[in-house]
Chains A and B, each alone.
Chain A
Amino acid sequence: MIQLQDISVQDRPELYQPPRRDVLRLPVIGRILKHRRGRLVFQVPLLLLALLLIYDGFTGPRLASQNLATVSVWVHYRGFVILALLLFGNLFCMGCPFTIPRTIALRLSRSGRRWPRVLRNKWLAVGFFVGFLFIYEWWDLWAVPAATAWLIIAYFVGAFALEVFFAESPFCKYVCPLGTFNFVASTASPTQITVRDHETCRTCPGKECVKGQPYVLGCGTELFPPTVRSNLDCILCLDCARACPYDNVALAIRTPGRELTDANAWPRRWDVSFLVMVFAFAAVSNAFGMVPPFYELQAGLAASFGIRSEAILLLLIFVTLNLALPGAAGLLAARLSQLLSGKREPMRVSFCRFAPAFIPVAFAIWLAHYGFHFATGALTLIPVMQNFLLDHGLSWLGTEPNWMLGPLVPGNWILPIQTIIVLAGFAGSLFVGRRIGERDYESPAAGIRAMLPWLVVFLGLALAALAMFNLPMEMRGTINMGG
């Protein structure tokens, strides 16, 4: 159980900025969000959808492009997630249906064990995130409806089991690959939890926002609102707002990505910075898995090393691209940054300094990639739903699925839009990097010199992404056939 003495409001008023615009003060939306059962408004529909996807995954068409499980998860869910993160914030963690049984488990385990100290970092999250991408590719999750259904079940079981045994929310904070993705991406989002009056929190005796009240849980990931400077680890459950007896918690509208240039927002920790770099490199490698050179690389490796196992080949590629490469690039850039700027400091500090500048370009690459699948396949949901209903004797949406539906926008818009997105992300990384340089170095020249090695990495990521988007990309889950 978290103790009162574990929590303190830093007596640094200069770090605090009262919110100018607060979503929780909006007339209708604010009331819904703060309502005791407000989260269920989002969770229950998604829970029902998850159950429907499990059902169709096991009993529906075996062709992925005709099954609700594969189409909804791999085309629509990913598209909506990235758009929600761009336009609002971590809405999908807020509405996560896996946490409904988790909430029951959490109540059961209030006196349970604390998550082991050795695992209280992002190393495990990095492992699960890369592991998830590996399994997605290895098991062809996008192509196998039943596998997608099993994945959803595994999520429910995993979230419930961990919350039963541990007193906090380790599943969200340290394990969930989707949550990890959302945490990192939400650092660029335009909303953030904060408080209206700093003094109220400083003098608050109960700290209910973290400890909870009899009718509502406190923050599952144990964030204390007045000290929140970043969206990292915030699942936007708003339990803090519901539990606060002073109605002092705010969901502030901020400049997107404001925290990226805030020296006090991110801990200078190896695990957090490495996670951000993995997030950036995985944006490229995940798209790489869908273009022809990936298959050529696989074939080349198989021929060169005589490896026949697809799992080993994929493991080799994924470990190299998602772990070894970001690690090596980060360490090399950090060392060169030290040498070029002449600043003597621990390697950890150099490694972490420019990590936030990865976010804009990485977010842009994910957006361009998932946006491509969404734009090319969003309307596929209509014939798939028509087919589902017809299979169950219902002709509410017509008597014949319209398999010609699929793209949301004309095909010749896609690549120009992707190019603009990647360029905007690259410009964002330059901007964040420059602000960090200005903040941490004595002269502009020193800041530029320090950033140059990182700039090469950003440039490489953006160019690699553009090169891939110019190649034929597999339209997973979007091509309809048969009937």
Chain B
Amino acid sequence: MSIRITRLLISASLALAILVVLNHVTSSHGYGTPQRLNEATGPYVLSIWTDPAPLREDETHVVVAVIDPATQELIVSDVAVTVRMQSLDNPEQSYVQVAGPDNTNRLLFAAEFNDQVSSGRWQVGVSAAGSAGQGEEVTFEVEIEPSRGLNWLWIGAGGMAVLLIVWLGSSMHSKPSRKAGA
């Protein structure tokens, strides 16, 4: 019986693994793709990442580190970071945000364009201004893909439900050990 159950569990796990591998879906971690690193602009040095990879219509984050070139320390106050996104397919489509503290690393700045941008090629511009002065805009281009259709939390929860059903079904038909009662 235990071999049959083991096979069932392995089959269920394999089925889930195949489902997972077949769907190339993104994560919404603070997983950053470096876009510009150590870019000197005015009195600042900027490092910029986009997150997640790939960017999607419903998840597009721009993360910025502002660094003092003299001390190599991160600047977290007395500076405003502006992020601009402009569609290269439709130049009239443009959004500007003042970046706030990043959710997961308070030493960084982040701007979110979730559900604002559409799929296609976009230009991103980042600039910093503060008491030390104004830096020139640093630009780069990104490709944004359509929204993902699946939510991994729900897939995981569904997987657990399947495992539970298999486990319950198999356990009900299992035989107790001869040493039961230990």
Contacts and interface: CB of A to CB of B under 8 A. Distances in A.
Interface of A: 61-63, 263, 290-292, 295, 372, 376, 403-404, 406-407, 410-412, 414-417, 419-420, 422-424, 426-427, 430-431, 434-435, 437-445, 447-448, 455, 459, 462-463, 466-467, 469-475, 479-483
B168 interface: yes
A403 B163 CA distance: 42
A441 B180 CA distance: 5
Interface in B21-46: 21, 23-34, 37-38, 45
A438 B176 contact: yes
Given A404-B34, A419-B152, A467-B153, A482 B67 contact: yes
Interface in B73-93: 73-74
Contact of B26 (A263, A415, A473): A415
A424 B15 CA distance: 12
A127 B181 CA distance: 34
Given A291-B104, A415-B152, A431-B9, A444 B171 contact: yes
B176 A475 contact: no
Interface in B1-27: 2, 5-6, 9, 12-13, 16-17, 20-21, 23-27
27 contacts: A61-B72, A292-B103, A292-B104, A295-B103, A406-B34, A412-B25, A414-B29, A415-B29, A419-B159, A422-B156, A427-B9, A427-B13, A438-B176, A442-B180, A444-B174, A445-B172, A447-B176, A448-B171, A466-B152, A466-B156, A470-B28, A470-B151, A470-B152, A473-B29, A475-B29, A475-B30, A481-B38
Contacts of A455: 164
A423 B12 CA distance: 10
Given A376-B31, A472-B61, 7 more contacts: A63-B72, A403-B37, A423-B13, A423-B156, A430-B164, A463-B156, A469-B29
Query: Considering the complex of A and B, which 6 residue pairs feature the smallest CB-CB distances, nearest first?
Result: A411-B53, A415-B27, A466-B156, A474-B104, A481-B47, A292-B103
Interface of B: 2, 5-6, 9, 12-13, 16-17, 20-21, 23-34, 37-38, 45, 47, 49, 51-54, 61, 65, 67, 72-74, 103-106, 108, 151-153, 155-157, 159-160, 163-164, 167-168, 170-177, 179-182
Contacts of A411: 26-27, 29, 31, 33, 52-54
A407 B53 CA distance: 11
Given A411-B31, A472-B30, A475-B105, A419 B171 contact: no
Given A404-B37, A427-B9, A466-B156, A472 B171 contact: no
A435 B175 CA distance: 10
Nearest to A433: B167
A419 B74 CA distance: 34
Contacts of B104: 290-292, 472-475
A426 B37 contact: no
A437 B171 contact: yes
Nearest to A451: B171
A410 B30 CA distance: 13
A444 B176 contact: yes
Nearest to A411: B53
A403 B45 CA distance: 14
A466 B29 contact: no
B167 A434 contact: yes
A430 B163 contact: yes
Contact of A463 (B51, B65, B160): B160
B160 A438 contact: no
A426 B104 CA distance: 27
A483 B36 CA distance: 12
A153 to B, nearest CB: 25
Nearest to A459: B160
Contacts of B17: 420
